[in-house]
Amino acid sequence: MINGLPLNAAALGGLQGDSSATEPLPIVPGRAFRWRLRVTVGGSDVTARLTGQVHVDRERGAAGLADFTLQMDAGPVVPMDWIGAEVVIDYISTAAGVTSEKRRYTGRIVTTEWGSLARLLVCHCGDQLQQRVEAMSTDAVGALIPSYWSDEVFEAIDGRSRWDYAQERLTSVQGSLDSSATGELRLTSWYAGNIDFTFGGGTTVYDSVALSYADLTSLTNTVEIEANYRFPRLRQLNENFTWVHPDTNGLGGLSGFCQWRPDSTELPDVAMVRDAVTGSGLSLVRNPGYNRVPLSAPDPCGNGQPWVNNYADLLLAASLTGGRRWSQPVTEKYTLKVVAETSVAQAGEVIARESLSIEYTNDLADGWESTAFGIDAPRPAAPGTGNGVGGNGAGGVGGAPAQDGGETGHKDQRDEAQRLGAFRCLLHQAKTSIIQAHSGTRVSWESPTSMVMDVDLVHTLAISDQGISAAARCSHIYDTFDLAGGSAITTLTITVMRGGGTAEDALEPPAASVEPQPEPDGPDPIGRSLPTQLGGKRGAPAYKEDLDGFAGNYDNADPTLEVFPRRFQVTSIDIPEEDTDEKTVDIAATYRVVIPNDLLEL
């Protein structure tokens, strides 16, 4: 009954228009209508063979289904030959002399049942939603479902099911994938839009309005995400060393040589100094500065004394810079909370938890400690291909000497696009989970199909009838066409969101951690001054084996005294544990989400 009169005998009215209407279109009862179906299978019209009932079931996020029964004529029938045939169901309605036609279903026969006694062929149909998505390319799936997806959260898509990929993309968007009645794939938002159709008094079948809603246990309003991002921090520490022979009195060049010569001593050479630096675990990162002893000259100091020296690498002073490289693992521990505050205030926290761990590395990080660098390392094949921290990292073998092999400092090897993509995916998944949990309320009612021919899953419906007022997005359309009884009834369902809130935060991941760089070395850094130990004279301090710098003897040494070993020694400084042990950085952020309060009054 509707409006107090039997169905098919009262004026029930038709509806024209679509979701592009700017004003809600009311369902207006009051006119009688005639209806019929047109069903084609494989392009052939089988309407005349229909018997019993025809059902069409279309729901957001699910494959569209249909079933009908055909009365087969005498003769051979092969039920399995019908499987896969394309099915089209059209609904045709006439009211007040105007005939309207609307497609209700497009799909294929999935399976059949054969009743041999009555020669009835029952056809069960599906719109092949999954199979059609499976046939798409990954780019096409991404275009169909624009959302947030990361191969750090999911598996890489190569060689995987396109349907699974589509389902993964749907987890971060508040919408559902379905096929329209005419067969087009589409993504439909869960949120109510402008009202497309209104159902007032007398537009619904008596006692057909139903309400269902979720219980507290499924009302997730808080999602806590624990995510770790681990990456290598590539460090370099340069040490500057300076050694000056004490007998030069701080003078360089020929002046210093002439100060040293009257009471000459053993001297280090270039190889000895370089070996001392590299032997301490350092790499030379700048060209050393040397104050060399002059080669043979008839009177270098102007005192009438000739000087004989055929070895060009003896030194009176040297300045060197050595560097070390190591990799420090850093783990950023993120605690991200997505919360619907109004829901929490009303019902308390109902928490869901998610976790993710990402570890990033690259070739530079893998070879950071083992790859030679500095002036003795092979030069890069092309300009700009060095790998130093703050420098070009070029070497001097095979070409002109490089000026440096990197500065003191560090460089984080991380992929920000990777981190941001994964965290955005997690945050939007959390929002989708909360919105979905607060979309568990459903209002359904029945209306004559001729009145709701234009209603689709993309539309927002409002009802105010039989003691209920509600407005939300349509989520389910179920047609029942009773060929024997003459009734054509459509059950409509809307999914109501309830939650509230006024303040919403952008779902942007927090900034990554940053460690400040140390002060730069400068163009002429002051080095650590290395001492000198000389033996062979009375009153000289005892030899200290662990003392860095140069050790040797006077040329005119007292043979009765201890002879010092001729050596040059450098000890690199200890690196603090805080720069070598794994470092953990805690980062927390909270994001508020707003859940629309769709109209619902009883």
Q: Where are the domains of the chain?
A: 198-443+486-602
Rounded to an integer, what distance in angstroms lies between the CA atom of residue 214 and that of residue 302? 105
pTM as predicted:
0.84
Hey, what are 204's tokens? 């619904």
Any idea which of 42-56, 203-217, 461-475 has the lowest mean pLDDT?
203-217
Q: Once rounded to an integer, what is the mean pLDDT over residues 327-352?
A: 96
CB 342 within 8 A of CB 438: no
Is the pLDDT assigned to residue 400 strictly greater than 90?
A: no
Comparison of pLDDT for 28 and 101, the residue scoring more: 101
Radius of gyration of the chain (CA): 42
User: With bands split at pLDDT 50, 70 and 90, how would you rate the model's confidence at 366?
Assistant: very high
- Provide mean pLDDT across the span 244-264: 94
Residue 4 in this model has a pLDDT that exceeds 90 = no
**315 pLDDT higher than 80:** yes
State residue 196's pLDDT score.
96
pLDDT confidence bin for 9, thresholds 50/70/90: very low
What was the pLDDT predicted at 406?
82
Q: Is the pLDDT of residue 418 over 80?
A: yes
Q: What is the pLDDT of residue 25?
A: 86
Average pLDDT over residues 145-157: 96
pLDDT surpassing 70 at residue 281: yes
pLDDT greater at residue 382 or residue 553: 553
Q: What is the mean pLDDT of residues 588-600?
A: 96
How is 377-415 classified by DSSP, letter by letter? SBPPSSTT----SSS-----BTSSPPS-S--SEEEE---
Contact 560, 537 (CB under 8 A): no
Return the pLDDT at 96: 83
CA distance 330 to 228: 10
- For residue 399, pLDDT over 90 is answered with no
Residue 512 burial (CB count, 10 A):
17
From residue 256, alpha-carbon distances to 201, 235, 247, 269, 439 in Å are 111, 39, 8, 16, 88
Q: Model confidence over 121-131: pLDDT tens digits?
A: 999 999 999 99
Among 24-33, 322-331, 429-438, the least confident range: 24-33
pLDDT grade, residue 394 (50/70/90)? very low
| Model confidence pLDDT, tens digit, residues 176-189 | 999 999 999 999 99
pLDDT tens digits, one per residue of 510-542: 999 999 998 876 665 666 899 999 999 998 999
Residue 14 has pLDDT above 50, yes or no: no
* Distance of alpha carbon 125 from alpha carbon 115, whole angstroms: 18
Q: Is the pLDDT of residue 15 over 70?
A: no
Element (H, E) at 568: strand 567-569
Secondary structure (3-state) at 164: helix
pLDDT grade, residue 377 (50/70/90)?
confident
Percent of the residues in the chain that have a pLDDT greater than 90, as a whole number = 81
User: What average pLDDT does this structure show over 31-53?
Assistant: 94
pLDDT digits (tens, 9 = 90+) for 450-481: 999 999 999 999 999 999 999 999 999 999 99
Q: What is the mean pLDDT of the chain?
A: 90
